[in-house]
Amino acid sequence: MSIAKFLVRRTLQAVFVVWGVVTIMFGLRAVSPGDPATLMLGEGATAETIARVRAQEGLDEPIYVQYLDYVQGLLIGDFGYSWRSNREVEAMVIERIPATLELAIAATVVALVIAIPLGVVSATRRNEPADYGATLFSLLGISTPNFWLGLMLILLFGVWLGIFPTGRRPVGLVEAIWTLVAFGSAGDLLTWLQHITLPALTLGTYFTALITRLTRSGMVDELGKPYVTATRAKGLPAVLVRYKHVLRNTMIPILTVLGLQMGTLMGGAVITETVFNWPGLGLRLIDALDARDWPLMQGIIVFIAVAFVTINVFVDALYSSLDPRVNDE
Amino acid sequence: MREDVLRVEGLSTRFFTGEGQVNAVENVSFDVREGEVFGIVGESGSGKSVTGLSLVDLVGSPGEITDGELWYRDAELADEVREEFPDVVDGEYVDLRGVPESVRTSLRGTSLSMIFQDPESSFNPSLTVGEQIAEAVEVQQRASSRPRSTRARTDGEEYSLGSLVLSFALPSRRYVSEESRERAIELLELVGIPDPVERADEYPHEYSGGMLQRAMIAQALAGEPDVLVADEPTTALDVTIQAQVLDLLSELQAETGMTILLITHNLGVIARMCDRVGVMYGGEIVERGTLEDVFRDNVHPYTEGLLGSVPDLESVGGSLDPVPGNVPSLLDHEMEDRCYFADRCPKAMEACLERPPDTRVEADGDHVVKCVLTDLEYGESPPLPDDHFETEGADASDGGSNESADASDKSASPDGGDSR
Amino acid sequence: MISDRITSNLRRTFRESLLPKIGMVLLVSIVLMAVFAPLLATHDPTRTGYYDEGGNAYPPIGTEYTTQIAVDGEIQEVEVTADSAHVLGTNNVGQDVYSRFVYGARISLLVGFSATLMAMLVGVPIGLIAGYYGGRVDDALMRVADTMLAFPALVLALALIGVFGESPVYVPDPIVSLGLADGMPESIPIPGTVTIVAALVIWVWFARVARGEALSLRNEEYVKAAKSFGTTDRDVLIGHVLPNSVTPIIVLATIQVAVIILLEASLAYLGFSGTTLSWGYEIERGQDILRTRPWVSTLPGIGIVLTVIAVNLLGDWFRDALDPNLDEGQRGA
């Protein structure tokens, strides 16, 4: 199967998945208790106003009409209006994306930069102190709830040592870089770095630990394969055997796992944003849930689902470019 | 007489596994002469593959060379290390066991190279064949561009992690140069691969087994080695392809003058290719000498049993299933202090209950046998009754011993097992 | 189902390595603590109002500290020593931290194990059937599985709790009903929606593993043979396919228990659990007073970490002994 055909199929599957998410969310909203109009207007609204709003929002239509309206709206990028703030949901989602994206990327970078060398060292120095250290670290990492880790980091680095600020995001990365480029001032960038360090560590630790474990076990398997002996037999420097050959082959399956773990990353982001008061999508989702603001809640979840499947299609594409065998199956 | 290029003295390689210590290679001695084909023949689990890996210093954990000397002839190397390690230099010979690991590493590929039995698992599946051969060319190019004296010392820094990271950004800093890629294509052509330019860009799974074995030979030749260790180079191939690959090896040997150490369980291959032979059993070489010594004037009953099982020596397909009984366990605690073959030997005598020494058949020849029959006639020592070993250890012939033989076979063959 | 070979593997790995022993000791201790919580607790964990003279939470025993006391409308700083009745102090609503720690183990373990069991009971049959029959059934299952995986577990849980409420289930405490412990709560609330949601989130992993096993066994000779003798599909599935899937499922289940314990803690932390007797909830409660009363958040966190480590160590042990092919990819939530 050619790469193009493969990607087309994966994309169609992705569309199906997103449709599933949209439908489930709509279903949940339909069965959830509480009258939307009352939720929108508050308890004090008169029956008359409520009736008017119901008609306006199409809430008196049969359920399938409401569903088709909703799907139709999504297709043209209309996610509806927030019940609480009466703002467009698209705008409320989009304005929060940079914060969450920064956090997710920073955490992923932390995870990859620490985990891969740690996994390699652990696998190549098996049963030496470095391996025990890495194993202990990764065991702790996958066993620690990230909100608690966040609090402990706040306590240690924020309260006791006073090195890092303990919450909020006074400046975004894009603005910070802009200040650096336009005015030559690195101050904003430094502020950004200071503020994102603890949240990124909080969100990244679980993944660091997970990838360390994956890299170690994958690499141990891979090192036992005959081609490794053959590659060493031809005199290739150890660095190339280890990284160009073995690590590369180890990373191929890990990549797929990481794609699937994006859901965990997003869930983790919700928690981390709550702990650090980081104004991203996760924090907004919690607010929406507390307020039972269904359109906003739906909008955020649909967005997350789209992001998830997009990343996974991307991962599949990367996978097939790394592993030559995939395309011939 | 041609000179020795390699002298192996008292080599022992052990594996320290969960089930116990496995004596995969025990006190093995032989010499390999320049330009010859030296064969090592034995059943699965006899330690022949581990012997090959020991020579190129590729015995991986939990295995370890525990004893012995590997004298390799290299005048330049001898000059270089003489001052620092005078004990391990003898004329033009250097004991590779006595020099630092970096020196041994620097010899790999360029002085001693190895090819393996299963070409499909011996190539990295996710890099093109051309790239992998070009890597071997590059090893040779880089080694020969530097004077011998600095080679071993700088090996550790030769290619650092930093250079690798840099090469992602700068293609010109990549390890493999364009010239090496071109040379790789030439090598593919040399070993008889059609359309080498296109084939170089293909991945191992796109090759047939025979083609891939040719590619592996090309890869081994890239380093222009003095000694090529070929571990079962034809076992995984069809019979017709086997003959082609053997012919190719002979041709290439004639062109380059390299020495080949051929490891196989196939007596037909031995008869066809080798000048001299060593027969391995239970981790030991039980008989060694010229092809004639071993095939016609053999002394050891095991050798005799091996040969008896092959009806026609010219048939390449002839393989071993010689003597009734199981391959001995190589687990240290299960090995008794006797001739390891005695329990299967039709001519076992009481004298066989002690370890037999290496004995020369003729005082000045190099036909060496590890068997009391070299000096005794059968019957000079009281023959053992047929059931001697059955009564001694009841479990020696039941399923239990079978299982442990399998286990030791596995651990003794980290390259994937002789049995495949 | 569990062959001698498996048990001997388990025993050997346990003997040879230190980590499974640590995991076993930890888990047994935590289970014992949960079971005998009413006997081990010093105070009713739900009773509020244990404050010092100044109306502040007690610090752990032996700490000398200052508290504010209002005397005649004026606030004075007074040096006091912590009340010896509260070994680990009290929280900001005046509950005994130690007693709540002991009770918290119950929620973590109950939710972790019961949700995993539920997910297994749902996921394994579905996966077996899908893998065994293949075709459309299988395709449909895999699409549903993809959809489930596209939902971040936590987000799905939040949405479902938003719809169905928290629905705590009150389970009577056998030790208290037997009259063995006085002054302890007579029942403890299990977070119902959280348990069901957790099961809903992870059943997909069980279905995937069971499907994979069924798929590979479908073409085995002995399964074909059994079918040719007229054995019904149901008997083939239960008699041949299921037993062969047992080991990977056990390994997966262990990993999932750890995942669920973390998920429950996260939901409780966010305030969606429906029970206040949870370690996660307690951590949230301590967050506001992190600077002045750090022990309130610290202790339950240690409880979660130790429990999850114990389960993970046992999971690693099972995996090493039973099925080295299963990997971390199954650690999904």
The per-residue pLDDT for range C191-242, each reduced to its tens digit, is 888 899 889 888 988 988 888 888 877 777 777 777 777 778 888 888 877 8
What does the pLDDT read at residue A326?
61
Local confidence band at A156 (pLDDT 50, 70, 90 cut-offs) = very high
Q: Taking Cα atoms as reference points, which of A39, A93, A20 lies closest to residue C145?
A: A20
In chain C, positions 203-262, which contact chain A (CB-CB < 8 Å)?
A: 258, 262
Examine residue A248 and state whether it is found in any structural domain, yes or no: yes
Which of the pair, C261 or A294, is modelled with greater confidence? C261
The strand pair at B276-281 and B284-290 is best described as antiparallel
C279-287 and A146-153 are packed helices; what angle lies between their axes, rounded to 10 degrees?
30
CB of B280 within 8 A of CB of B39?
Answer: no
Picking from B53, B124, B203, the nearest residue to A249 by CB comes out as B124
**CB contacts < 8 A (A, B):** 105
User: Does position A207 have pLDDT exceeding 60, yes or no?
Assistant: yes
The predicted structure's pLDDT at residue B414: 38
Mapped to the 3 state alphabet, what secondary structure does chain B carry? CCCEEEEEEEEEEEEEECCEEEEEEEEEEEEEECCCEEEEECCCCCCHHHHHHHHCCCCCCCEEEEEEEEEEECHHHHHHHHCCCHHHEECCEEECCCCCHHHHHHHECCCEEEECCCHHHHCCCCCCHHHHHHHHHHHHHHHHHCCHHHHHHHHHHHCCHHHHHHHHHCHHHCCCCHHHHHHHHHHHHHCCCCCHHHHHCCCHHHCCHHHHHHHHHHHHHHCCCCEEEEECCCCCCCHHHHHHHHHHHHHHHHHHCCEEEEEECCHHHHHHHCCEEEEEECCEEEEEEEHHHHHCCCCCHHHHHHHHCCCCCCCCCCCCCCCCCCCCCCEHHHCCCCCCCCCCCCCCEHHHHCCCCCEECCCCCCCEECCHHHCCCCCCCCECCCCHHHHHCHHHCCHHHHHHHHHHHHHHCCCCCCCC
Could you tell me the CA-to-CA distances from B135 to A234, B132, C287 in Å, in that order? 8, 5, 57
Paired strand residues for B264: B41
**Inside any domain, residue A67:** no
Token code pair at residue A278: 């980081």
pLDDT at C119: 94
**SS3 labels along chain C:** CCCHHHHHHHHHHHHHCHHHHHHHHHHHHHHHHHHCHHHHCCCCCCCCCCECCCCCECCCCCCEEEEEEEECCEEEEEEEECCCCCCCCECCCCCEHHHHHHHHHHHHHHHHHHHHHHHHHHHHHHHHHHHHHCHHHHHHHHHHHHHHHHCCHHHHHHHHHHHHCCCEEEEECHHHHCCCCCCCCCEEEEEHHHHHHHHHHHHHHHHHHHHHHHHHHHCCHHHHHHHHCCCCHHHHHHHHHHHHHHHHHHHHHHHHHHHHHHHHHHHHHCCCCCCCCCHHHHHHHHHCCCCCCCHHHHHHHHHHHHHHHHHHHHHHHHHHHHCCCCCHHHCCC
Answer whether C241's CB lies under 8 Å from C223's CB: yes
User: Does some domain include residue A133?
Assistant: yes
**What confidence score (pLDDT) does residue C146 get?**
72
Answer for the pair B65, B11: CB distance below 8 angstroms, yes or no: yes
Instruction: Give the residue with greater pLDDT, C255 vs C62.
Output: C255
Closest by Cβ to A155, choosing from C262, C265, C290 = C290
Residue in chain A nearest B415 by alpha carbon = A226
pLDDT greater than 80 at residue A45: no
CA–CA min distance B25, chain A (Å): 19
- Interface membership of C22 toward A (CB under 8 Å): no
Q: Which two tokens stand for residue A308?
A: 């998830």
- Cα angle at A20 between A16 and A23, to 5 degrees? 135
In a domain, A183, yes or no: yes
- Give the CATH number, domain containing residue A215: 1.10.3720.10
Pair type for strands B20-33 and C74-81: unpaired
Cβ–Cβ contact A126 with C under 8 A: no
Structure tokens at B128: 């093109």
Give every strand in the sheet of B63-73, ordered side by side.
B20-33, B4-17, B63-73, B93-95, B89-90
Give the A window 261-280 contacts with C, CB below 8 Å: 261, 263-264, 266-268, 270-271, 274-275
Structure tokens at B368: 């060496």
Place of tokens 């429906």: C274
Mean pLDDT score of chain C, rounded to an integer? 83
The Cα–Cα gap between B295 and B293 comes to 6
What is d(CA C308, CA C313) in angstroms, rounded to the nearest whole number? 8
Which pLDDT score, from 0 to 100, does residue A14 have?
A: 85
Burial of C9 (0-12, 13-18, 19+ CB in 10 A): middle
Question: To probe the interface with B, which of A220, A229, A323 has the most B CB atoms within 10 Å?
Answer: A229
Residue B136 Cα, gap to closest chain A Cα (Å): 6
Residue of C nearest to A218 (CA): C327
Q: At what angle do helices C295-322 and A129-143 cross, to 10 degrees?
A: 120
Taking an 8 Å cut-off on Cβ atoms, the answer to whether C287 and A151 are in contact is: yes
Q: What percent of chain A has pLDDT over 90?
A: 28
Distance from CA of A235 to the nearest CA of B (A): 5
> What average pLDDT does the segment C75-84 reach?
71
Q: How far, rounded to the nearest angstrom, does the alpha carbon of residue B224 sit from its chain's CA centroid?
A: 18
Q: Which residue has the tokens 């593919």?
A: B188
Q: Alpha-carbon distance B263 to B293, whole Å?
A: 18
- Residue (of C64, C62, C98, C94) closest to C79 by Cα position: C64
Yes or no: say if A292 and C162 are a contact pair by the CB < 8 Å rule.
Answer: yes
**A-proximal residues of C, 286-315, CB under 8 Å:** 286-287, 290-291, 294, 297-298, 300-301, 304-305, 308-309, 312-313
Does pLDDT of A251 surpass 80?
yes
pLDDT value at C27 more than 90: yes
Higher per-residue pLDDT: A148 or B104: A148
Asked if C327 and C129 touch (Cβ cutoff 8 Å), the reply is: no
* pLDDT over 50 (residue C116): yes
For residue A153, pLDDT beyond 90: yes
> What letter represents residue C285's amino acid?
R
Complex prediction ipTM:
0.86
Confidence grade of residue A169 (pLDDT, cut at 50, 70, 90) = confident
Chain C nearest-CA distance from A92, in A, is 18
The sign of the dihedral angle between the CA atoms of A216, A219, A224, A229 is negative
Enumerate the residues of chain A whose CB falls inside 8 A of the CB of residue B136.
234-236
Residue A215, domain extent: 97-279
| Pair C322, C10: CB distance under 8 Å | yes
Residue A131 lies in a domain: yes
User: pLDDT tens digits, chain B, 420 residues: what are they?
Assistant: 578 899 999 999 998 877 788 888 988 999 999 989 999 998 888 888 899 999 988 887 778 899 999 999 988 888 888 888 888 888 888 998 888 888 888 888 888 999 888 888 899 988 899 999 999 998 888 877 765 545 544 444 457 777 777 777 666 667 888 888 889 999 998 888 899 999 999 999 899 888 898 899 889 888 888 899 999 888 877 888 888 889 988 998 998 889 999 999 888 889 889 999 999 998 899 999 998 888 888 888 888 888 876 555 444 444 445 566 677 777 877 777 888 888 888 888 888 888 888 888 887 778 888 888 877 777 777 777 777 776 544 444 443 333 333 333 333 333 333 333
What is the rounded distance in angstroms from the CA atom of residue B170 to the CA atom of residue B184? 22
Q: Do B132 and A248 touch (CB under 8 A)?
A: no
Q: pLDDT tens, C263-310?
A: 999 999 988 877 788 999 999 988 888 888 888 899 999 999 999 999
Burial label, B98 (beta-carbon count in 10 A; 0-12, 13-18, 19+): middle
In a domain? residue A169: yes
Q: Is the pLDDT assigned to residue A266 strictly greater than 50?
A: yes
Q: Residue C327 carries which side chain, given as an amino acid letter?
A: D
Give me the residues paired with residue B112 across strands: B108, B227
pLDDT at C132: 85
pLDDT at A276: 93
The 10 Å Cβ neighbour count of residue B389 is 19
Going by C-alpha positions, the residue among C54, C108, C87, C97 that lies closest to residue C296 is C97
Domain total in chain A: 1
A274 located within any domain: yes
Please check whether residue A132 touches C, CB under 8 A. Answer: no
Chain A: closest CA distance from residue B358 (Å): 31
Question: Is the predicted pLDDT of residue C139 greater than 70, yes or no?
Answer: yes
Contacts of B222 in chain A (CB under 8 A): 234
Which of B226, B219, B140 has its CA nearest to residue B177?
B140
Q: Give the residue among B398, B397, B401, B399 at the shortest CA–CA distance from B329.
A: B401
Average pLDDT over residues A220-237: 88
CA distances from B362 to B292, B367, C140 (A): 14, 7, 79
DSSP lists the bridge partners of residue B261 as B38, B229
pLDDT at C33: 94
* Per-residue tokens: B239: 């019979």
Evaluate if residue A164 carries a pLDDT over 90.
Answer: no
Cα separation values, B62 from B18, B414, C13, C324, Å: 10, 9, 18, 19
Give the C-alpha separation, A197 to A161, whole Å: 14
- Residue B324: the pLDDT is 67
- What's the pTM value of the predicted model, to 2 decimals? 0.81
Which range is least confidently modeled, A220-229, A274-283, B390-399, C181-190?
Answer: B390-399
CB distance from A30 to chain C under 8 Å? no
Give the number of residues written for chain C: 333
Lowest-confidence pick of A70-84, B35-49, C37-51, C52-66: C52-66
Residue contact A260–C332, C-beta within 8 A: yes
Residue A103 lies in a domain: yes
